[in-house]
Amino acid sequence: MWQIYTLTCLIIAVNGCDIPPRMWCDSLETAKQCQVVEQCAKSVWKVNEVSPEPVKLTLYMESLCPDCKNFIKEQLFPVWAQLSNIIDLELVPYGNAMERKKGDMWEFDCQHGKEECIGNLIETCAIHISNNVTRWFPFIHCIEIAEDLPKASAIRCAQMYKIDYSAVQKCMASDKGNLLEHQMALKTNALSPPHKYVPWVTLNGVHTESMEKEAESNLLKLVCDTYKGPTPKACSQLEDLESLSRCYRD
């Protein structure tokens, strides 16, 4: 009885599938009719595939701070170069600066003087203009590892990384550029807890002292540990390295 029932259903199902294969997965109904629900779910609807969120990494910094330069050079840039597809990077060049409103414009006082304010503004404008981390981060890295002042290195770095420097300069001299830098101030001042130093890192919006220490000493591991998605190659290599650096007993 049961066998006959199953067989009948199967025949009805197969007969019921007079839909061209390309339309089988158009709806749950069509997929049911053609008995391909599981296949559609897996390969077309991708129901089991949660797309993992990238790690949101924000660096609060200022252009001439030696520790920021060092952090970008030793940790952030090399790690981003390996893991850019799982890092959603944001840079906030303002740091320990202060601002006040004068007329319609904002005036900035930077910890390392006027040249630092210029550097912050160059970086802020470049981020805004290129609007593509793959372009602006190598440019900013180039400025931050340079020995000379941002206003000089930026020209060289812009050529190297195809940043439209005349657009950057235009931005720097405009109300828009002034407002963009003010937004960096607002972002920095909105930190909770407030920053005590720079570089100041947040991961997915969170800052703790221990996390900051790890960011400054082993950012690769920190990002790998924070990421919930499938292990990227650079992270699995890290695990190999860790096991190699231990002396196991026999």
Ligand X SMILES: *[C@@H]1O[C@H](CO)[C@@H](O)[C@H](O)[C@H]1NC(C)=O
Interacting residues with ligand X (CB under 6 A): 132, 134-135
DSSP code of residue 206: B
Q: Which residue has the tokens 């067989």?
A: 7
**Nearest residue (beta carbon) to ligand X:** 132
CB of 164 to ligand X, least distance (A): 12
Which is closer to ligand X, CB of 132 or CB of 245? 132
| Closer to ligand X by Cβ: residue 90 or 115 | 90
Residue number with CB closer to ligand X (90 or 214): 90
Strand, helix or coil for residue 203: strand
Burial tier of 123 (Cβ tally within 10 Å: 0-12, 13-18, 19+): buried
CB of 89 to ligand X, least distance (A): 13
Extract the tokens encoding 223.
């990002």
Task: For the CB of residue 138, give the shortest distance to ligand X in the complex, in Å.
Answer: 9
- Give me 95's structure tokens: 């740091």
Alpha-carbon torsion angle 118, 121, 122, 123, nearest 10: 130
CB of 152 to ligand X, least distance (A): 24
For 35-113, where are the alpha helices, taking DSSP H only? Answer: 37-40, 66-71, 77-83
Q: Which residues pair with 61 in a beta bridge?
A: 93
Nearest approach, Cβ of 133 to ligand X (angstroms)? 8
Q: Residue 135 or residue 151: which is nearer to ligand X going by CB?
A: 135
Task: Output 27 or 134, the one with its CB closest to ligand X.
Answer: 134
CA 161 centroid distance within chain: 19
